[in-house]
Amino acid sequence: MIIYDFSLACGYEVTGVDTAMCVRAGILQELGYKVKLIFPIPPSRRELMLYVGKGISYSQMLGVHSCFSDIHDYRPASDLQGTLKWLKEVLDYSEKQYSEDSIILKKDGRTQASMLLTEDKQGFYSILYYKDARLIRMDLYSDCMYASIFYETKKTDRGHEAVAKERCFYNRDGSMALTQIFQRDTEINILPDGSSYNQAQLFGRFIQRLDLTKEDMVILDRPITFFPAKFLLACHDKTNIIAVFHSEHFFIEGLSIQGKNLGMEYWYWCKYSKYIHTMIVSTNEQKSVLEETLNTYGFVVPEIKVIPVVCLDKIRRPEIERKRKSIVCVSRLDIRKKIDWTIYTAIKAHEIDNEITLDIYGTGHKEYIHYLEELINTHNASDYIRLKGRRNVTDIYKQYEAYLTTSLWETFGITLLEAVGSGLAMVGLDVRYGNRLFIENGLNGYLVPYDPEHFYQECPSEIDMLAKHIVEIVSDKETCKRFSEKSYEIARRYLPEKIKEKWKDLLSYYMDFERI
């Protein structure tokens, strides 16, 4: 069985979906299955480093467009010095300038080209060429050049920008495998035989080339415009299709800036649910809500399995005593996460006990980060509330005593799992789904009732209760210790063997079914 995971959203913000997908790929490989992750467009340096860093091998990556050539590997080029020598002959550059992630080649003070380097700076992913300080071409490399992107400079609202006008994919012998021409919001894809296709049609040809069978499986992870779902769902009688719900499928007013509606992200899957063999959610609560939603709209209710999107690699205990009265929050800095409420809670708690501190890890939109910084400064809280930015927080949680979340919904909550896995006491709003999964009221923390009418309030009354519980927990070492041990107990339910067994059962069902 080959498992094709249609999930990678190139160019999008990194989210928990990326982590979940990589963890699952590792589990499936351990179970003996071959996993291929599908890239809708050539991945950037950032994306390749992200997925490889999370355990995905280059051999697992398959590009929709590269499938039409004989070069299928995104492994970066390794002949850095040889390529620099060649570029010296071609460009006659006079200066090499090294930056954190690239080598910039200059002549007479003007940039002629730059090479985007691998993390170890021993290889490179691409070469960008410039003319009169403007990007005109980018060549993408594996062990040889596999694609080129050609740019033209256009005047936009943000000034002059390099806009892609054509992209070419090559075979190993240098011959053309596919040409893409971009015109406004459309693209034309031309194969060597002269046949042409729009984006959706080319994706359909790609699906045909996969030659899916009942011995294969398609996992739909993140519905995006790159993947016209109809071509995949049309294969429902030929292969096995699983759709994974990573986020909320139905929004409730007062819990989302999107108001009350069936989320557009999963609308297509719900509407055509009769073509999906299994839907996967992370919690029993979402399973019940999803069944209710499908029935309410008159859609078919397929088999719905509860399999957490990730597992906890291990329990983490601190080697030294946790910092007393320390609170942590790990989150994307996004308006629906209500990080401003987290800050207000810490301010209120600090007014009661001035030893309480809060560290917030994560990044997001610049405007929202600026708003949070202003909020902290306005309340003279910068000495005890700190925005720490994006970090590898795996071993950071265990330094703290309590975890605080004011997010209005977490479909699963990877950071919540990581927090209980490090034995933190937990405090959050009583909202679905992840908070109710990882916070057991009065046992490892507290859930504070939330009134959706307070959604647009700057500092709602819930903050007083959140702050009260924070103070209550960190002021008593025995409470901290008792809540910590309960968090560890909850975390053990999500160790790898537990999640692996659920996937093993599901895939065994499909394997056995096909033999009947």
Residue 515: its pLDDT value, please? 39
CB-based contact 494:312 (threshold 8 Å): yes
Instruction: Determine the Cα–Cα distance for residues 107 and 114; give it in Å rounded to an integer.
Output: 12
Instruction: Determine the Cα–Cα distance for residues 359 and 353; give it in Å rounded to an integer.
Output: 16
What confidence tens digit (pLDDT) does each residue in 448-464 have? 999 999 988 999 999 99
The percentage of the chain sitting over the pLDDT mark of 70, rounded to a whole number, equals 93
Q: What is the DSSP string of 79-109?
A: -HHHHHHHHHHHH---EEEE-SSEEEEEETT
The mean pLDDT value for 242-255 works out to 78
pLDDT at 375 over 80: yes
Instruction: Determine the Cα–Cα distance for residues 142 and 71; give it in Å rounded to an integer.
Output: 8
Whether the ω angle into residue 433 lies within 30 degrees of 0, i.e. cis, is: yes
Question: To which H or E segment does residue 481 belong?
Answer: helix 477-491
The percentage of the chain sitting over the pLDDT mark of 90, rounded to a whole number, equals 74
Please say whether the dihedral angle defined by the alpha carbons of residues 68, 71, 73 and 78, taken in this order, is positive or negative: negative
Tokens of 469: 């519980």
What confidence tens digit (pLDDT) does each residue in 128-160 have? 999 988 999 999 999 899 999 999 988 776 667
Q: Which of 412, 409, 413, 428 is nearest to 327 (CA)?
A: 428
What confidence tens digit (pLDDT) does each residue in 321-353 have? 999 999 999 999 988 899 999 999 999 999 999
* Reported confidence tier of residue 12, pLDDT bands at 50, 70, 90: low
The mean pLDDT value for 173-201 works out to 94
Please say whether the dihedral angle defined by the alpha carbons of residues 49, 333, 311 and 303, taken in this order, is positive or negative: negative
The 3-state secondary structure of 111-174 reads: EEEEEEECCCCCCEEEEEEEECCEEEEEEEECCCEEEEEEEEEEEECCEEEEEEEEEEEECCCC
Residue 259: its pLDDT value, please? 55
**Mean pLDDT, the chain, whole residue set:** 91
Question: To which H or E segment does residue 343 belong?
Answer: helix 339-352
DSSP 441: B
Residue 513: its pLDDT value, please? 53
pLDDT at 470 over 50: yes
What confidence tens digit (pLDDT) does each residue in 193-205 have? 999 999 889 999 9
Residue 50: its pLDDT value, please? 85
The mean pLDDT value for 36-57 works out to 87
The tokens 């702050």 sit on which residue? 467
Residue 516: its pLDDT value, please? 38
Tokens of 314: 């291990």
pLDDT at 1 over 70: yes
Tokens of 94: 């006079």
| Lowest-confidence pick of 15-24, 99-108, 395-404 | 15-24
The mean pLDDT value for 20-38 works out to 91
Residue 9: its pLDDT value, please? 57
Residue 8: its pLDDT value, please? 61
Residue 160: its pLDDT value, please? 78
What confidence tens digit (pLDDT) does each residue in 261-286 have? 666 678 888 889 999 999 999 999 99
* Reported confidence tier of residue 13, pLDDT bands at 50, 70, 90: low
